[in-house]
Structure 1
């Protein structure tokens, strides 16, 4: 399919919106039109607004198409805060700014364009919900795409409040949610922002009694999240050195709905968030939030996961304000919401209104209140803990699982490549093709080599041992009592462990992303890639990068192992 010099029309879905014009531009397209198809969030999914929650025919989904998998934030100040006097790139030098025009439209406006297209019939998986057959093109339809852009600089205004800690003022809990939206923004972001405001109000009432948190709490309402995580990223970059020294946890929300707890974040926080979910009641049942979540996991067929001791936190990719804290600075992070029973098609459109939210999403705000109970407990328990409640055995368990996944990917790719190359070389693919249709024979792929996973697997085995030793010793020593000196030394030691999983050199082709365990995929956008340096080198067939990425991830894990050994020694473990 040749898109050179053409305008591409693409459905939302399947990957993050920016990936579609990105790939189109890489192949020579001069413009992209994006539309929301009714098969995804329109009349095929359910009744459309105003009768139901799904996207009506004139609903347009907005959204940024900056290349955030390279770096988020101000495109003109990569890696440093966009303050008034900051040095800025020229607009045509900024690598994250899309080089071709992109326009979102409704499925009503997409209909005449799609109906006028000819060429081959689109594959079944590309067909949508409109009442005609979709064709690939090119043409014979033509379209004129005219967009205008405002390149003026404007300030992004974060609202930040700080409550000084009474005992550990230099250990921070940062709690954030963005405050800007594409239109009315009832669900995204206001439903999340009001939970932050309610949490802060409750803590304010506590303070009126004379109470003060032991650690400093920072509340932030980020501006300009929607264009490119601007407010949070520039703030985190500008205060990066201080955050690396002081931040023990970042807790993010970004809207919420009705149903089950959605929890993602640093795996060392799994036991912590599980204990909170056990202590908060679901507002519509007689069960706890944890019991209801595990019931849903079991009902969906994953009994083993439902029986796991702790909630498995989803690894974080990108798409919200945790990104600069976790993946650039290495601050332990959580992203929390409720959902699963409040689907709809208002996302990023003018229909994301108070009316839509209160009729279809969380009509009595019961789950918004519940999210406040979850996040409020998370903030306060971290702020008040004697020893910061990380549990590193969970980190080891998940990293081991990711390594196994990548070994399986490499083995499967090797087998599939061998089989496919044989089909090509023996002419079997061409022979099996329909002779009445145009056919271009594919080229063979490079054979997938065998990779040396031993350094990574050895580092993970040691991580499992060191984490088990630290977690077990901490539990024993806490029961006996810790001295103030021990608590202070251990906390300073383990606060920095997430940072040890970063590498200042960053990932290939995108040095801003430093975390070696979690990153958004270069071609998935929001979607996470775990052990990203190795995984993407294999998936993208850049095999020459694998050994170096294997070393970097192994070295990062070894740094954690050494730090856990130090922490255990503070708790009284004999040094061997």
Structure 2
């Protein structure tokens, strides 16, 4: 595995053996030092000391693939053919015992267990802060105690957001000239699935949107509400005092509304267009091509979601854990800073969206025919830009959101390492959901639980991992990755010094359009590579750069810990890889009927992750390949050079030397990585000091790419090489500071603006030089 903020799997790691065909495919069946009041620790089972104690030592692919995001070190899938399962190598000196353990774990991983667990956990909506979500936490904790794990529950008191009650539902209305409502959007999604029959359904809402009522006779359609969309109509319209309609997709929903705020809008309606979430040919009058007949979004489906932008975690305590000793900002202060939204919003399905878009059909001089990519596929809608509504009509948005501080709970199940208990390998996912969450997040949660179950069985044979394994379940991820971010904020120093890697499993099975895991196509790796060659003509699987879409973000961007995010995805051409995302239709029935009827994909993901965890925890030398990081650095540098607009702007400012220095730094890192990997291959296992030293260099390499003061306009993001885009939290970007500093229109004589660009170039060169020096003592026999 390569330690990188992108993704890759080591050419020599025994992790790669999980990618090879097996004969077992037959089954279808740390108490806080400062504050202990909110941390519950179980001592019923043996385990390592709690977090605060001293220990014994001081990229989702758009085709079939396992998306390995080594963000802040994204773990990478083997670029070469994996070794045979029993073949000795520098990470696996006891190949016979390793093969035995691997096979047992494979054989024990059960699709039947996975299906049963998902059915049970997804039976009710379980929003963060609710009694239903606490019930899941209690169930998981009981299960882990039964496995003999040491368990821990960390409590944080954080700001959450909830919609109005039944008497005060959030809504959008069309008003006639006499002020009467002639159309009101649905405040609940239609029941299309027996799994939806519950009184606990959460109505559609956008968390942290401002409460209040706004009304306007000036309404505009702004496509996806991206920065490019706003620039395309700049000078053509004035959005001050308007209500904007836009469709989900392309960028994070919070970025859409923040841009609308900045352009003077007073409210935003966001809907799912069938162009992006259902095949246009199937969205006919009967909608037989949508759920519950297919996996595509029905007309009443509404995507919920958070509106926080700027950083993740509890918005009232940035940089600090939300404990009883922590100073908190007010909601008003956070909203004024632009972290919480300053205007009301209303999400809706395309059945409702059509009625609001039809208002714009007859507005003169508002065609979007010259704007590429602005047309959706709702029948009868012209997708006009809009303006002043005809006939004295207005649109009104009423938002009754309430912000409340509530307790959330992170859960941990711990297996103590036998040799290096102070080195942690973490596997996690969140367990909260906007609704039933059968896909997001429980499809990943059940794989975490199944992996923990089979490891508990291996413990019964007398096996113990070399390093400590920690299973993690995060709370309040849907709100803004809150649980995981509070954890990394509280335990920053401990985690930076002791964590080898964090593996994330958020929604690992999204589309059925992939070869079956038990097909004759070969291993997962074989199929992955074959699909990549077909799509991109590459000779190794592609990986995606780190974004901020799930719980690996804090480990990556804040702490510089290697992470991986793993999933099966299909080759669909739709904006959403999972059309029912964050709707009430993401139920067990949907998974069972359309995504993974036999739960074989879930089994394949669980087996893959189990072997990855075993390899990371048991290999004498941590299975990271530093050359993979060097290869990725060269790739993203070439990609930077391919952006002619950026290169021309840098050249106009005589910054070619800075680019040359960046290239020299990458070349030097690549050369040193080559020497370092050769050193690793020749290590003497009997020299415990040398083994520990090399492992420390591998583990800490990713931290070298952090800059203490953060990147441009985001001091909370420390990783200089890979981070989410400033304009879209869902998109990972290489050299984010450089790219984002050049994204705005800097005038040729804007000294301050160009100094920012120079500063970001300097940071990139500096951290790469630092990473090179971190490998020198082994590679070149000197400290420098």
Q: TM-score range, shorter-chain basis?
A: 0.7 to 0.9
> Of 238, 244, 268, which residue of structure 2 is paired with 1:32?
268
Alpha carbons of structure 1 residues 23 and 45: separation in structure 2 relative to 1, 3 Å: farther
Residue 491 in 1 paired to residue 695 in 2? yes
Distance 1:546 1:499 in 2: 23
- Equivalent in the alignment of 1:560: 771
Count matched residues: 518
Residue 101 in 1 paired to residue 344 in 2? yes
Question: Displacement, 1:256?
Answer: 2.1
Alpha carbons of structure 1 residues 233 and 184: separation in structure 2 relative to 1, 3 Å: same
1:414-493 to structure 2, matched below 5 A, reads: 450-451=655-656, 452-475=658-681, 477-478=682-683, 481=685, 483-493=687-697
Q: Deviations over 1:302-324 (max 9, x none)?
A: 22x2x23xx34321111100000
1:315-394 to structure 2, matched below 5 A, reads: 315-340=545-570, 344-394=578-628
Question: Displacement, 1:482?
Answer: 5.0
Distance 1:51 1:448 in 2: 58
Distance 2:654 2:477 in 1: 42
TM-score between the two structures when normalised by the length of structure 2: 0.64
- Equivalent in the alignment of 1:85: 325
- Equivalent in the alignment of 2:90: none
Question: Displacement, 1:127?
Answer: 1.1
Distance 2:420 2:543 in 1: 28
- Equivalent in the alignment of 1:125: 373
1:126-205 to structure 2, matched below 5 A, reads: 126-131=374-379, 132-140=381-389, 141-205=393-457
1:16-27 to structure 2, matched below 5 A, reads: 16-27=252-263
> Of 510, 513, 521, which residue of structure 1 is paired with 2:725?
521
Q: Deviations over 1:326-357 (max 9, x none)?
A: 00010011110112168552111000001111
Per the alignment, in what secondary structure is the counterpart of residue 100 of structure 1? coil
Distance 2:456 2:311 in 1: 36
Distance 2:499 2:512 in 1: 29
For the 8 Å contact 1:283–1:370, the answer to whether it is kept is no
Q: Deviations over 1:156-200 (max 9, x none)?
A: 111111111111011100111110111111111111110110000
1:197-236 to structure 2, matched below 5 A, reads: 197-236=449-488
- Equivalent in the alignment of 1:113: 356
For the 8 Å contact 2:439–2:510, the answer to whether it is kept is no
- Equivalent in the alignment of 2:246: 10
Per the alignment, in what secondary structure is the counterpart of residue 359 of structure 1? helix
Residue 299 in 1 paired to residue 534 in 2? yes
Distance 1:253 1:211 in 2: 25
Q: Deviations over 1:7-59 (max 9, x none)?
A: 11101112221121111101111111100001111241752011111000000
Per the alignment, in what secondary structure is the counterpart of residue 154 of structure 1? strand
1:59-74 to structure 2, matched below 5 A, reads: 59-67=301-309, 70-74=310-314
For the 8 Å contact 2:511–2:578, the answer to whether it is kept is no
Question: Displacement, 1:223?
Answer: 0.7
Q: Deviations over 1:188-218 (max 9, x none)?
A: 1111110110000000011122211110111
Distance 1:261 1:370 in 2: 15
- Equivalent in the alignment of 1:239: 491
Per the alignment, in what secondary structure is the counterpart of residue 188 of structure 1? coil
For the 8 Å contact 2:641–2:647, the answer to whether it is kept is no
Per the alignment, in what secondary structure is the counterpart of residue 143 of structure 1? strand
Q: Deviations over 1:101-121 (max 9, x none)?
A: 121111111111100112412
For the 8 Å contact 2:510–2:578, the answer to whether it is kept is no
For the 8 Å contact 2:773–2:783, the answer to whether it is kept is no
Distance 1:80 1:74 in 2: 9
- Where structure 1 has 5 or more consecutive residues not aligned to the other structure, the ranges are 263-280, 419-445
Distance 2:372 2:671 in 1: 49
Per the alignment, in what secondary structure is the counterpart of residue 338 of structure 1? coil
Distance 1:56 1:255 in 2: 21
For the 8 Å contact 1:116–1:139, the answer to whether it is kept is no
1:271-286 to structure 2, matched below 5 A, reads: 282-286=517-521
Distance 1:128 1:41 in 2: 11
Alpha carbons of structure 1 residues 52 and 509: separation in structure 2 relative to 1, 3 Å: same
Question: Displacement, 1:407?
Answer: 2.8
Distance 1:61 1:285 in 2: 38
Distance 1:494 1:106 in 2: 48
Distance 2:666 2:460 in 1: 48
Question: Displacement, 1:150?
Answer: 1.6
Residue 56 in 1 paired to residue 292 in 2? no
Q: Deviations over 1:141-160 (max 9, x none)?
A: 52111111222200111111
Q: Deviations over 1:427-472 (max 9, x none)?
A: xxxxxxxxxxxxxxxxxxx976644212211111100110011112
Distance 2:630 2:385 in 1: 46
Mean Cα deviation higher: 89-98 or 352-361:
89-98
Question: Displacement, 1:404?
Answer: 2.2
Alpha carbons of structure 1 residues 53 and 260: separation in structure 2 relative to 1, 3 Å: closer
- Equivalent in the alignment of 2:92: none
Distance 1:12 1:115 in 2: 18
Q: Deviations over 1:251-290 (max 9, x none)?
A: 001012267999xxxxxxxxxxxxxxxxxx9333341001
Pairwise CA RMSD: 2.3
Alpha carbons of structure 1 residues 377 and 575: separation in structure 2 relative to 1, 3 Å: same
Alpha carbons of structure 1 residues 45 and 20: separation in structure 2 relative to 1, 3 Å: farther
For the 8 Å contact 2:669–2:769, the answer to whether it is kept is yes
Distance 2:591 2:664 in 1: 50
Distance 2:351 2:293 in 1: 18
Distance 1:230 1:258 in 2: 24
Per the alignment, in what secondary structure is the counterpart of residue 220 of structure 1? strand
Distance 2:401 2:359 in 1: 29
